[in-house]
Amino acid sequence: MRKNIVAGNWKMNNDLPQTEALIDGLKSQTQTSNAEVMIAPTFTNLWHAFEELRQSKIEVIAQNMHFAENGAYTGEVSASMLKSVGIQTVILGHSERRAYFNETDQLLAKKVDAALANDMRVIFCFGEELADRKSGNEESVVENQIKNALFHLEGSAFKNIVLAYEPVWAIGTGETASPEQAQDMHAFIRKTLDSKYGSEVADNMTILYGGSVKPNNANEIFSKPDVDGGLIGGASLKAEDFFAIVNAF
C-alpha cells in the first residue's frame, strides 16, 4: 500500500553523545502528520537508537548492508546482524555508495535480494547526475537503474520496496529539483513499473524524493500527486527542521 514516509539519512554524522542528543530532540517534537517517520543513524549507534525509540513511532533503519549472510568481508554488516538489533528497513543504492564505494546496479541487485530474503524492507535509491539531466538523458538513466537492480524480482516483492528518487545534483547542494521536475520523474517511474508489473504494483509503490528537502520547500514538493514523501539528509540533523518536514504533510 502506498504510504507517506519521511526518512532522515544521517550519513556519517553523530557519534554516540550526539545521537543521544538528537534522539532526545526528536522525542520532544510533536507529530501532526500521518507520515511514517524513520531515521538512519550510523551502524555503531543503531542498537542504542533502536532501544531509545522502541516505544516511539520513529523507526530506526540502516544506511547500508552487505549481501552475504556472514564470512570474510572485513568491515561489513549483514542483514541478519541488522535484524538482530531490531532493524527492519535498509537504505540501498544511495548515490554516495554508488559514487564513493563503486556500488553498481549488479551489486545492488544482490543486496536487494539479500534484504528481501531476510524479510527486510528496502528503500532503494537512484537518480541521475547533472550531466545526464543537461543532456536530457535523465529518464533513461533512471529507467536503467531501476531495471538493472529490481526487474529480476517478482511483482509481489515490491510490497517490501520503497523507491527514492534522488537526483545527484540536488543532494547536499541546496539546489532542489523543482516540484514539477520531481513530479515528472515520479510519474515516469510509476509508468516504468506499470509497463513491467502492471498498475497494481505501480499505483501502490511509495516513491520518495530526496535532494535538499528543507522546511521551506517540503510542503510544495510533497503536494505533488506522485511524491509520497522524502529522504532527508542535512535537514534531518536538526530535530526541529526534520519535524517541520514531517509535519509538512
Residue tagged active-site, from 36, 94, 138, 143: 94
Q: Among 81-89, 112-120, 191-199, 205-213, which window interacts with ligand PGA (CB under 6 A)?
A: 205-213
Q: Angle formed by the axes of helices 179-197 and 138-150, to 10°?
A: 40
CB of 70 to ligand PGA, least distance (A): 28
Q: Is 166 a catalytic residue?
A: yes
Exactly one of 52, 103, 166, 241 binds ligand PGA (CB under 6 A); that residue is 166
Assess 101 for contact with ligand PGA (CB under 6 A).
Answer: no
Assess 172 for contact with ligand PGA (CB under 6 A).
Answer: yes
Q: What angle do CA 79, 83, 88 make, to 5 degrees?
A: 95
Phi and psi of 158, rounded to 5°? -70, -10
C-alpha–C-alpha distance, residues 166 and 47, integer Å: 27
Assess 213 for contact with ligand PGA (CB under 6 A).
Answer: yes
Element (H, E) at 69: none
Assess 232 for contact with ligand PGA (CB under 6 A).
Answer: yes
C-alpha–C-alpha distance, residues 230 and 222, integer Å: 8
Q: Give the single-character DSSP code of 157.
A: G
Which grid coordinates are listed for 171? 543532494
Exactly one of 9, 19, 42, 217 binds ligand PGA (CB under 6 A); that residue is 9
Phi and psi of 44, rounded to 5°? -65, -20
Exactly one of 161, 231, 239, 248 binds ligand PGA (CB under 6 A); that residue is 231
Residues contributing to the site for ligand PGA (CB under 6 A): 9, 166, 171-172, 210-213, 231-235
Residues with a known catalytic role: 94, 166
